[in-house]
Structure 1
């Protein structure tokens, strides 16, 4: 059965995105959870110069919340062809600028770029005509329960994707405690069984 998620703020506020779970496995953040996260980020982010990366983009709602609020660039990445097709169709229908969409296996191990970063995002991003990395904000809503998520936050925080003043937001199950093995989040927001762990790179011990 089709459902909808709604953009909760900014110039796209009120627009709805259709969710068709039979097309691909998708578990979008609830409207209330996304609005709560964005309200928190609104307290200290100046959105206009923000370059945002949305990993495991799915419906695109989390990244579009950023673009709607004034982020200058958004890159959405997902593995599933159905999700990528949905995102490109949405970009065309809504006539959105500053939004790139790229396909990649975001949990694939490897060191193709010669660095210690264990996922292939950097390699795929380098193929974009206007690669905005490093990003000021990275948001990720990975599949709950995937064993490859252990230490996922550390790979982002220690890798080349996030700027020195960057913010990382990962949504995961409240019960999951291994999203980072080295760092504690600067802020935690909990909505039901879902948790946003928010890391500020500038506050991490070096």
Structure 2
């Protein structure tokens, strides 16, 4: 895997073979960040990365100048891998990684964020509940964006906060916002 753009552009990282996470592909990540490049100023963002996995999304935000990133990951191997990459990439000041269950974390977190990205396991039992559970906890700033990565087998277009979907092969990114 590689970091697509920014100060760490081209830097590679390889999760161990025993990794159980399904990382966002380089192509899908590049496409998503091309969309975001035209919409947001990375340097001023507060970002919450849920289901951190390899940490690739957080590294992309940090590489583009974002310095207020919180990554939540429950799996100890994944959490440890992210911690080691923060050290290797010298991103410990920009990214705070927390080992926690995402659903418990979002119930307790009192911060609000400009952008929240969630890439849960596609076979997660309560996957369809994620947008509702997220919005119940009011973690998004008024003009913020929640992005949920999911397979092409899911659709969230009927959700009241859904705004659009970006499709890259079998990977889809649904965008949600509380803006009217």
Q: TM-score, normalised by structure 1?
A: 0.80
Q: The residue matched to 1:17 in structure 2 has which SS? A: coil
Deviation at 1:21, TM superposition (A): 3.6
Matched residue pairs, number? 179
Aligned to 2:176: 199
Aligned to 1:159: 137
Aligned to 1:111: none
Matching of residue 33 in structure 1 with residue 28 in structure 2: yes
- CA distance in 1 between partners of 2:90 and 2:149 (Å): 28
The answer (yes or no) to whether the contact 1:151–1:181 under 8 Å persists in 2 is no
Deviation at 1:102, TM superposition (A): 0.3
The answer (yes or no) to whether the contact 1:144–1:173 under 8 Å persists in 2 is yes
- CA distance in 2 between partners of 1:21 and 1:72 (Å): 30
Aligned to 1:120: 104
- CA distance in 1 between partners of 2:134 and 2:99 (Å): 18
- 1:1-59 per-residue CA deviation (whole Å, 9 max, x = no partner) reads xxxx111111111111212241x311101111001000101111011110111111111
- Which blocks of at least 5 consecutive residues in structure 1 are unaligned? 107-118, 127-132
Q: Structure 2 matches for 1:74-153, cutoff 5 A?
A: 74-96=69-91, 97-106=93-102, 119-122=103-106, 125=109, 133-153=111-131
Deviation at 1:122, TM superposition (A): 3.7
Root mean square deviation, CA, Å: 1.8
Q: The residue matched to 1:86 in structure 2 has which SS? A: helix
Which residue of the other structure, out of 160, 164, 169, is the alignment partner of 2:147?
Answer: 169
- Which blocks of at least 5 consecutive residues in structure 2 are unaligned? none
- CA distance in 2 between partners of 1:182 and 1:198 (Å): 10
Deviation at 1:162, TM superposition (A): 1.2
- CA distance in 2 between partners of 1:186 and 1:79 (Å): 29
Structure 1 window deviating more from structure 2 (157-166 vs 82-91): it is 157-166
- 1:136-174 per-residue CA deviation (whole Å, 9 max, x = no partner) reads 110111000222112211222342221111111111111
Larger helix share, 1 or 2: 2
- CA distance in 2 between partners of 1:158 and 1:136 (Å): 16
Aligned to 1:116: none
The answer (yes or no) to whether the contact 1:152–1:180 under 8 Å persists in 2 is no
